[in-house]
Amino acid sequence: MARTPATRHRSRSWGLAFDDLARGWRQQELWGHLGWQDIKQRYRRSVLGPLWITISMAVTAIALGVLYAGLFGNRLEEQLPYILIGFIVWAFIGSSITEGAMVFIANERLIKHLPAPISVHVFRLIWRQTLFFGHNLLVYAVMLVVFPQPLSLASLAAVPAFALLMVNGFWAALLVGIVSTRFRDLPPVTVSVVQLMFFMTPIVWIYEDLLNSTNETIATRARLAELNPFLHYLEIIRRPMLGESFELRHWVVVLVITVLGWALTLVVLRNYRARVSYWV
């Protein structure tokens, strides 16, 4: 029962594209509720409930932290926080993209039965991932007690950094979602690509260690990681969370991609928004 202000169904218009986003945003009660519901649903009837998100993240990070500290010969108090934050942030990035590919396909019945801006489903997705992120931050808090990091006021940069992750997660999910609805090969392709990027991005391996490697070949290879956009997304938030210094170039790259990504997504939204209900 969305309030439609005399909608002329001239489907391909900028006005309608922005209108979709604005009306989707205003239905906070709906997607806010559904996002929570998704999480509660997953852990319904379990004693610990959503706390399992936190626990499984802690177990993964500790196990891999110990493993890779041994493999790379790094100190645990350096390797573990690095891996932990990498995992928490990657969980948000990776899921936003892979679940984004299914965001309209999975909601086919809702889309065909209830008129709602298509962005509602994307808001629900990003909100759900944000809640996951929040649960995982508990592990980070515990980690800070065990392995204190040199946090300072500058660490607050993590807040706008996460806001940027949300803004980017939104366009990525919307874009991949629309294209996937038309081309059903894209969801599996997306899963594979995200999986691959997980290994290409310094999450379990420490970027700076390899850059400063005495082995020239390794150092050269490591430099290629700069071409990986996910590196920059990770670094804008991981560096402040580890109390490391501010690196302008990561922010510049992220901001440029944010603008380009949104521009592309808006064009796709304008042209294919109205087709989604036909395609699902």
Q: What residues line the site for other proteins (CB under 8 A)?
A: 1-11, 29-30, 33-34, 37, 41, 44, 109-116, 182-186, 189, 274, 277-279
Minimum Å gap between C-beta 185 and other proteins is 5
Output 37 or 149, the one with its CB closest to other proteins: 37
Q: From residue 4, how far is each of 115, 133, 200 by CA, in Å?
A: 10, 34, 46
Minimum Å gap between C-beta 127 and other proteins is 14
Angstrom distance (rounded) from CA 77 to CA 64: 13
Gyration radius of the chain's alpha carbons: 20
Minimum Å gap between C-beta 94 and other proteins is 21
Q: Are 94 and 190 spatial neighbours (Cβ–Cβ below 8 Å)?
A: no
Question: How crowded is residue 138: how many other Cβ atoms within 10 Å of its Cβ?
Answer: 15
Output 66 or 275, the one with its CB closest to other proteins: 275
Q: Which residue has the tokens 């990770």?
A: 234
Output 102 or 165, the one with its CB closest to other proteins: 102
Minimum Å gap between C-beta 138 and other proteins is 25
On the CB side of 249, how many CA atoms lie within 13 Å of its CA?
4
Per-position b or e across 76-96, b if 16+ CB within 10 A of its CB: eebbbbbbbbbbbbbbbbbbb
Per-position b or e across 106-119, b if 16+ CB within 10 A of its CB: bbeeebeeeebbbb
Minimum Å gap between C-beta 201 and other proteins is 25
Q: Are 112 and 277 spatial neighbours (Cβ–Cβ below 8 Å)?
A: yes
Output 32 or 243, the one with its CB closest to other proteins: 32
Output 72 or 279, the one with its CB closest to other proteins: 279
Output 116 or 172, the one with its CB closest to other proteins: 116
Minimum Å gap between C-beta 26 and other proteins is 11
